[in-house]
Chain A
Amino acid sequence: MIELNGIGASDGIAIAKAYSLKEPEFIIENKTVSDKQQELKKLDDALNQAKSELEQIRDTARVRLGEEKAAIFSAHLLVLQDPEFIEPVKADIENNSICAEYALKEKADMFIAMFEAMDNEYMKERAADIKDVSKRVISHLLSVPLPNLSLISEEVIVVAEDLTPSDTAQLNGQYVKGFTTNIGGRTSHSAIMARSMEIPAVVGTKQATSEIQNGMILIVDGFTGKLIIDPTEKQLIEYKQKHEQYVLQREEWSKLVNEATVTEDGHHVELAANIGKPEDVEKVLENGAEGIGLYRTEFLYMERDKLPTEEEQFDAYKTVLEKMEGKPVVVRTLDIGGDKELPYLKLPHELNPFLGFRAIRLCLEQQDIFRTQLRALLRASTFGNLKIMFPMIATVDEFNEAKSILMEEKQKLIQENIEVAEDIEIGMMVEIPSAAVLADQFAKVVDFFSIGTNDLIQYTMAADRMNERVSYLYQPYNPAILRLVSMVIDAAHQQGRWVGMCGEMAGDKVAIPLLLGLGLDEFSMSASSILPARTQLKHLSKAHAASHKAELLAMDTAEKVIDFAKETYAVN
């Protein structure tokens, strides 16, 4: 038995066998073979096995990632039967008695070098495709299986260094009971995905992949961040009970699915969900969200080789709006740059991407991209209750310019006799300190604010949230953050605007009573946090929370704020 401590990224307990995504290392030697016919057959068998695996991966990708992404695997399949690749390998075996894996590796390396030398980024990336395919064939030649999420067919806990967006898109909730990674924190991509899929997860364990072998029994405790490898009988019983308790608690929560969120003293606050893809709406409805507070549209642009068309975007927005049946849907326009790159835009590499050319800054300069998205949104607006917000607004001018582009596109559509909703609210994210400080001026021009705490905290504290060495500065409860949040809410209410929050903080049970007291109108969070938050809010009094506002804003450290919240509202 070994215990590792990481960060609990998604609530729940999972107990299952480990499935490690760590890739085995291949040792390939230049050996001569005595039986050439047998070696040729070995190659054929490996090619066939690789083929059937790739077909399975392609089919999974088609269902879970769409046709576009699946096309890559169709290209991979063709590499396996490429005569200019396979014939020379066979000739090498036949003429020089070279072992299949060496012959294949040599030819593959030649192609990889050739693609890597091309001066076209897209072509350079194709080198990775060849690496991928040849690695799969070699794994069969050496009989060392290569892990792949699409090939999982029994209940497992996935163990990986990290999970990329395309990895998480392939996770099949039916078999993947939980996951654990070496790196990452509560706001990393894998953590956010775990919560949206409601899979228990522990991230940032540093050494999960080196400690865990395939098939070991694991316990993932997403509440405390504990990862138990090869547990004792006693631990197994204990955690099975913990799991059952959680299941019961969720049943209790689920009774509130169709209820409005009302505090003990009769105030209604809106609990909304954050989504990235139209498919996420299912969980949003299951968990009884009163709306979508953040639709991150960048997923439409990622994992592909060109911009999405207006039609593709229209379909996605329309689907979300229709499924939400008139409940508010706040769509954030493209927020790319920073840690989210789009290789096909060929943007120059920046030294400081989080402070660089990203989000609205990019959209205002590359207006064709922005206008296409706005047209798609406006066309979809008649299918539900759409609200649009712009990310990374730093100045009033930026907001006004973005809004006037939106209005221009609206006029154009009207002239084309295309129906557009009349009453679309237009708001902005507050994630740059300048916007928070100047909120009273912004409040005169916007319909609403949505506070993006993940970025607001990193910009206010000047601490990169991806940098573990300065992670101690990532302090949601620092009074400086609370004062900014409070300023934004007061400024908005002065002008009769509403304020939401769509960062991780909005779903945190320690933060919820504090934010209620500051007057936050809308809390947008992972779908899985909604019912616990509703339960909590039912037992809170807004008047009581508000009575502590001055005291709270006069505190000097994050620790004191946390202690105060825990003591006053009995949360931990």
Chain B
Amino acid sequence: MNSTYIAKDNKNTKQHRIGEKGEIPMLQKTINITSESGIHARPATLLVNKASSFTSNIDLEFNGKKVNLKSIMGVMSLGIGQGASVTFHVDGDDEQEALDAIVELMSKEGLGA
């Protein structure tokens, strides 16, 4: 499988943000997927729509692969099933708001917490 296209190379992913205040780690949160059918079409659609409403860069990491949460094909390509542990990485002006909204959506839709 040619996954190099969507999955970002971990080495190049910005882990820290360098600003005037020095290094501030980006926001991240790990969630366990409890939904029986994992993240299939409908939840993926909800997540991508939600992510797209923020300006921050939002990545979803699963199984060592990181994809853009604003990319439906990226999210679907991870094939996230029940029991998976996924991590959201959020970086940008509205990062806190974005992360809160995503976590809320995940729990409201019974996807995971």
Write the residues of chain A forming the contact surface with B, with a CB cutoff of 8 angstroms. Answer: 68, 71-72, 74-75, 78-79, 81-85, 110-111, 113-115, 117-118, 120, 122-123, 126, 130, 305-306
Contacts and interface: CB of A to CB of B under 8 A. Distances in A.
Interface string B36-68: 110011101100110010000000000000011
Contacts of B52: 81
Interface stretch (B1-9, B10-18, B26-34, B97-105): B1-9
- 10 closest A-B pairs by beta carbon, nearest first, are A78-B72, A84-B71, A71-B42, A75-B41, A75-B45, A74-B45, A117-B1, A82-B71, A78-B48, A82-B72
B40 A110 contact: no
Nearest to B37: A306
B113 interface: no
Contacts of B89: none
Nearest to B36: A306
Given A84-B5, A110-B5, 20 more contacts: A71-B42, A71-B45, A72-B41, A74-B42, A74-B45, A75-B44, A78-B48, A78-B49, A79-B73, A82-B70, A84-B68, A84-B71, A84-B74, A85-B71, A85-B73, A115-B77, A117-B1, A118-B79, A123-B77, A306-B36
B84 interface: no
Nearest to B77: A114
Nearest to B67: A84
Contacts of A126: 41, 76
Nearest to B1: A117
Given A114-B3, A118-B79, A123-B79, A305 B70 contact: no
A79 B73 CA distance: 7
A462 to B, nearest CB: 40
Interface of B: 1-3, 5-6, 36-37, 40-42, 44-45, 48-49, 52, 67-68, 70-74, 76-77, 79
Contacts of B1: 114, 117-118
A78 B6 contact: no
A490 to B, nearest CB: 50
Contact of A305 (B3, B41, B45, B67): B41
Contacts of B3: 114
B53 to A, nearest CB: 12
Contacts of B5: 84, 110, 114
A96 B68 CA distance: 25
Nearest to B5: A110
A425 to B, nearest CB: 35
A79 B52 CA distance: 12
Given A84-B6, A84-B74, A113-B2, A122 B40 contact: yes
B41 A83 contact: no
Nearest to B44: A75
Most chain B CB inside 10 Å of its own CB: which residue of A71, A84, A114, A122 = A84
Most chain A CB inside 10 Å of its own CB: which residue of B45, B49, B74, B76 = B76
Nearest to A126: B76
25 contacts: A71-B41, A72-B41, A74-B42, A75-B42, A78-B72, A79-B72, A82-B70, A82-B72, A82-B73, A84-B67, A84-B71, A84-B73, A110-B5, A111-B73, A114-B1, A114-B2, A114-B6, A115-B73, A115-B76, A120-B79, A123-B76, A123-B77, A126-B41, A130-B73, A306-B37
A83 B45 CA distance: 14
Contacts of B68: 83-84
A115 B78 CA distance: 10
A84 B52 CA distance: 13
Nearest to B6: A84
Nearest to A67: B42
Contacts of A78: 45, 48-49, 72
Most chain A CB inside 10 Å of its own CB: which residue of B36, B40, B70 = B40
A117 B67 CA distance: 18
Contacts of A114: 1-3, 5-6, 77
Contacts of B76: 75, 115, 123, 126
B77 A75 contact: no
A45 B80 CA distance: 34
Nearest to A305: B40
Given A83-B71, A84-B68, A120-B79, A110 B2 contact: yes
Nearest to A74: B45
A305 B73 contact: no
A442 to B, nearest CB: 39
Contacts of A117: 1-2
Contact of B70 (A83, A110, A115, A122): A83
Nearest to B78: A123
A117 B79 CA distance: 12
Contacts of A122: 40
Contacts of B44: 75
A122 B43 CA distance: 14
Contacts of A74: 42, 45, 49
Contacts of B77: 114-115, 118, 123
B104 to A, nearest CB: 20
Nearest to B48: A78
B34 to A, nearest CB: 15
A85 B1 CA distance: 17
Contacts of B36: 306
Contacts of A130: 73
A120 B77 CA distance: 10
A74 B52 CA distance: 14
Contacts of B42: 68, 71, 74-75
A69 to B, nearest CB: 11
